[in-house]
Amino acid sequence: MTHTTITPELPISEAGRLLMIDELETIQGFWEACRESADITAVHETRKAIRRTFTLFKLFAPYFAPEDLRRSRSGLRRIMRRLAPCRDIAVFRSKLAACNEAAERPLNKLAIYWARRQEKADDRLRHLFARKSATRIISRYAALLAAPGDSAALALVGQQQVAHALPGLVFERIGRVRAWGEIRLTATPRQFHQLRIQFKELRYTLTFFEEVLRPDAAEFIDLSRRIQDHLGDLNDASVAVDLLRDMKKHRGEAGIYRAHQQTELARLTTEFQPLYAEFDQPAMRRSLAVALANL
């Protein structure tokens, strides 16, 4: 797996293509491990690469024919639907195991139940990755990325460089985060989930262009990474609550662990507030603006 070097002078369309290739190579690099054993590291890295790819599709849509990205997105979503339960259950089981190690009365029935669910989810993933239809999804996407970006849309937007396009891409995503952040104190779970999604897209965008934004935006980037890690833990607790709520078996143990996860969810939600306040500061945005102005 390679890492693309992005420069301010690079055409933005080519930057998009190369960044997509980086994520595709991650998917390809972990494909066999997913197919053979549903290895958790491979599952996690493949899932992250597809999520980053979806963000790239949004960022660079003007530089590709709409039907090309639509077809690739549809295929990758099919793969994602098999990856998600494998990863979610694995994280759930890891945290349950840590909880059981410290508990006077371990929730053993719950652990056995989710171990079986893991086996079923992993089997479905291996089955999908072994199918020719799944490999064709990746092959078609690779073919799409094989040539430099030269879609007809370029005639409308011109040969923009990274330096020209990046300020708008970044601040558009900051605006979306701040819009949801305005209601964070009274947000419903669905609204808070939207804030997590928008922040993840901002974080990925900063990651794609980190080389050209540092050092001026280093503090902003490092804070965004801390917030994304926190939001990841928060999302894991939220997923655990949902998984436990839908259980039909071992409801006693499920209820005990669900109460534990709800407490964790409440704690993480409360601790998110000062982190967000640190992020949503004019000084932070100015440091990022300076980095973008210096491109």
- The predicted pLDDT at position 62 comes to 83
285: nearest Cα among 217, 229, 210: 217
Residue 4 or 46, more confident: 46
Residue 156: is its pLDDT beyond 50? Answer: no
- The predicted pLDDT at position 192 comes to 86
In the DSSP assignment, the letter for residue 62 is G
- The predicted pLDDT at position 188 comes to 83
Answer whether 163's CB lies under 8 Å from 71's CB: no
Residue 170: is its pLDDT beyond 90? Answer: yes
SS3 string, 83-112, reads HHHHHHHHHHHHHHHHHHHHCCCCCHHHHH
Residue 133: is its pLDDT beyond 90? Answer: yes
* Mean pLDDT, range 36-43, rounded to an integer: 96
Cα dihedral 34, 40, 43, 46 in deg (nearest 10)? -110
Q: What is the pTM of this model?
A: 0.91
What length does the chain have?
A: 295
The Cα–Cα gap between 95 and 241 comes to: 12
- The predicted pLDDT at position 154 comes to 44
- The predicted pLDDT at position 158 comes to 55
- The predicted pLDDT at position 162 comes to 93
Residue-wise pLDDT for 112-124, tens only, equals: 999 999 999 999 9
